[in-house]
Structure 1
């Protein structure tokens, strides 16, 4: 009897595990022409006899006796999948290589790019169904992942990471502000490197920062630099000159760009950080340009940055770097032999030195993996939110920027919200940029009586080149320092890097910097007194109010 009971139990377990097979990942519209690298992933355990995949028109089953133990990849073409992902699938639909076994087709299952479905049957029983665009919203290069019982809404593309949120306790933090003291922190950190420096930055044109890295290389430090291969306007002559100087010193300079071998993993590699000796991270809002890290006493951008000392946190960012610096979209950046030149800059009176604390709580914010943490930071505010951004744009004509919408919602529950935006000409010359955004926010605040105010930065009063910051302070306790712009692209499609730091000393430091910028801009509100654009601004305020209501309605429904 015991033997019979054991056999029955084993059969039940096998049935349960086999019945648990499901589709957990698929990509219907990859980058290769004709989509030979389209694929799906099954997850489960047991024998696959009786399981059939279909799209309602064609389908396939597995060879008798096939088993699944964990994950199993089925691609349309084995070699095409290997070219895109670096390894062969477990099965292929079209006979392309003897190294990959074939499924047994019944008709032709080809996943359509814009509208189709996948049906998983066990015998005649429908086990799982996923349809698009009903269940997922497809776009070229996007991989759809099942998280629990829901499909991940993030637009994660081929080659991208899927990092999970992580928090690190007891971190030593040195906060700094550009232009006041940014270069000193960078230079000292690089000078202290002993073994390895990994740099990932959107643009690198600063000769002094290049010389710091070259000196590190000359004393035996391994230095690798990863740059965006196609920044807006292309790699500048100054960027090519810096790349050439780094290369001649023996420093490896790489770029992320679409090649014949692979599509670029991210729309832009817009991060700005370096990892030193596997124990220190320097991260901020500024590119490695003279305006972001000027010599002491020279004018530059307003930006925020931090030096973080913690081996586990550094290991996190080192993993991000190594993931991003690998793959067919990474190629050497060809530099030039042009002379390095630092452009002239006006004098600047330094106001802020560094602030160093121990015992901070630090949470990395990496786009697109964990950029939703910014929304959580804003939504969790109880007393105050201070926002300093280069610019804020709405998602689409109908969808309000989610971070701004969350801040407005916070003001509706009594949180004091202040928004400071850049006033340089290219952020104010059009009909729908920072000056209009400031006016719209202020009129919405006046119409609803909200503790909400927006200002354009008075750059002349504070002797700043521009506001390039992407920072938030919440409740005098938590600060976001990052490279993430408030637009539709940066949080969802770029590689960005930031951190949320929870420490009252760091919050107090950046509050002082923010207050200095805010108070200098008190007469530059762009929307206080009526003017010739009054009707346009009022209409925009009405639209913003409507969009906010629609956004909140949608959030309540999800």
Structure 2
């Protein structure tokens, strides 16, 4: 923002546990004494063929009052788009301006506030002069008020802009599918505003469609259970599944353990709702063991979806990997652990397996938080959320069942580990801070 007349989430990593003014169209006041709207997102290098159709810009009102922005403009010094006379931006809110509102909804699953490139649906149109098309290699996005004064600006890539409202070098250009997004102060949560590239130099890369969950801490009196793998992980998880009465929502990178599957299917058969989200393209591919488990789960009445990527069909996964490892039992139990639900990660026999850890948190607020995360990733309307489908016309059985001659190997591996660590339930006052990658991990590890 310029003063005066003159202005960047998932997959879960781990959880840390510890014991008034409104302004008319011709009555805008000088920005020397107030804050004003700022540009917070620019999406210029899109996945869409032809690129421009997917572009969008977001502006935000950081003030405590609604502002009338009739006659305000956004320009790249070539094309100009102007807000209609009735346009307002509410206090603390933002407006999405999409070149193509239908394409915007298809990508973000939300409606744009204005459309400025084509008239694709009923979204209100901005007034267009010359058209606004952002170059992938470098450009400017300039917000001006109704008196043609520069209010905010962002320049990126190879832009040679040297005018009012910007200091220093342009913001580095981003890759295809990445939104250029303004950084927030980690302490106040407010957008940075120094009129320089520093405002946009975030640790996080904002891929289009990703979530923006906040960093929060839940304080409560209650109990948690801690456990290790291979010592007690199978028993603790199996017991939690057996005690489920309403729902089990599982998000895990890989699921290969047939004996955990048995407990899940038993839960389905007694009327428990089961949804399982899996990675659709793990490093070694989807094993037949996992296809078998998915098939058996769906056959019993559960649901299974995969997070997939297929650029040739316009499907781009929101995250490099769905690398989560958590389960939600009913509305108050959250299980977070370091291991996949495999024979090595959650071994049936505790003399064998990987070293890992887990925690069971019994608190409805924590579970509600993770439930929101789960359904954000699960959402069927997202193109990268693909249901278990046998004999699909495009994918065959990649996301379906195993070959007809597949026979599950139920051999239980054993070893020489002495499993000295029992699980332990701890009661007291707790602070629980969920850390999600990519949403909040930069706040802790940035």
Q: Which residue of 1 is the match for residue 97 of structure 2?
A: 74
| Alignment counterpart, residue 409 of structure 2, candidates 341, 346, 362 | 341
Please state how far the C-alpha of 1:166 moved relative to its aligned partner.
1.2
What corresponds to 1:354 in structure 2?
423
Is the 1:79–1:96 contact (alpha carbons within 8 Å) kept by the matching residues of 2?
no
**What is the aligned partner in structure 2 of residue 132 from structure 1?**
156
Residue 63 in structure 1 maps to residue 133 in structure 2: no
8 Å contact from structure 2 (residues 141, 153) kept in 1: yes
Which residue among 211, 215, 224 is the counterpart of 1:165? 215
Q: Which runs of 4+ in 1 moved over 6 A?
A: none
| SS in structure 1 at match of 2:281 | coil
CA contact (8 A) 1:241 1:339 kept: no
Return the offset for 1:302. 0.8
Which deviations, in whole Å up to 9, do the C-alpha atoms of 1:462-493 show, x marking residues without a partner?
xxxxxxxxxxxxxxxxxxxxxxxxxxxxxxxx
SS of 2:414's equivalent in the other structure is: coil
Q: CA deviation at 1:27?
A: 1.4
CA distance in 1, matches of 2:353, 2:22: 70
**Greater C-alpha radius of gyration:** 1
Q: Deviations over 1:100-148 (max 9, x none)?
A: 2322222232122242221111233111111224335522222233332
Residue equivalent to 1:323: 376
Q: Describe the SS at the equivalent of 1:41.
A: strand
Matches within 5 A, 1:239-318: 239-258=290-309, 260=313, 262-318=315-371
1:28 is aligned, of 40, 44, 68, to: 44
Q: What do residues 303-349 of structure 1 show as CA deviations (whole Å, max 9, x unaligned)?
A: 11111111111111111001110122111122236333235523232
Q: Distance in 2 between matches of 1:91 and 1:330?
A: 28
User: What is the distance in 2 between the residues matched to 1:276 and 1:115?
Assistant: 48
1:112 maps to 2:162: no
Separation (CA, whole Å) in 1 of partners of 2:38 and 2:149: 13
Q: Does 1:186 align with 2:199?
A: no
Contact kept, 8 Å, 1:296 with 1:350, in 2: the verdict is no
The counterpart of 2:68, out of the listed 36, 47, 69, is 47
Unpaired stretches in structure 1, ≥5 consecutive residues: 1-8, 376-401, 403-558
* Counterpart Cα distance in 2 of 1:373 and 1:87: 26
Question: Do structure 1's residue 15 and structure 2's residue 28 form an aligned pair?
Answer: yes
TM-score (norm 1): 0.62
Query: Which structure 2 residues correspond to residues 134-533 of structure 1 after superposition, within 5 A?
Result: 134-135=170-171, 137-146=173-182, 147=184, 148-149=191-192, 150-151=199-200, 153=202, 154-169=204-219, 170-258=221-309, 260=313, 262-326=315-379, 327-333=382-388, 334-336=400-402, 338-343=406-411, 345-347=413-415, 348-359=417-428, 360-375=430-445
CA–CA separation in structure 1 for the residues paired with 2:22 and 2:418: 77
Q: CA deviation at 1:234?
A: 1.6
For 1:31 and 1:261, how far apart are their aligned partners in 2? 8
1:254–1:172 distance in 2 versus 1, CA, 3 Å? same
Q: Which residue of 2 aligns with 1:448?
A: none
How many residue pairs match? The answer is 368
Q: Which runs of 5+ in 2 are unaligned?
A: 1-20, 158-169, 185-190, 193-198, 389-399
TM-score by length of 2: 0.77
Q: CA RMSD in A?
A: 2.3
Q: Distance in 1 between matches of 2:215 and 2:235?
A: 31
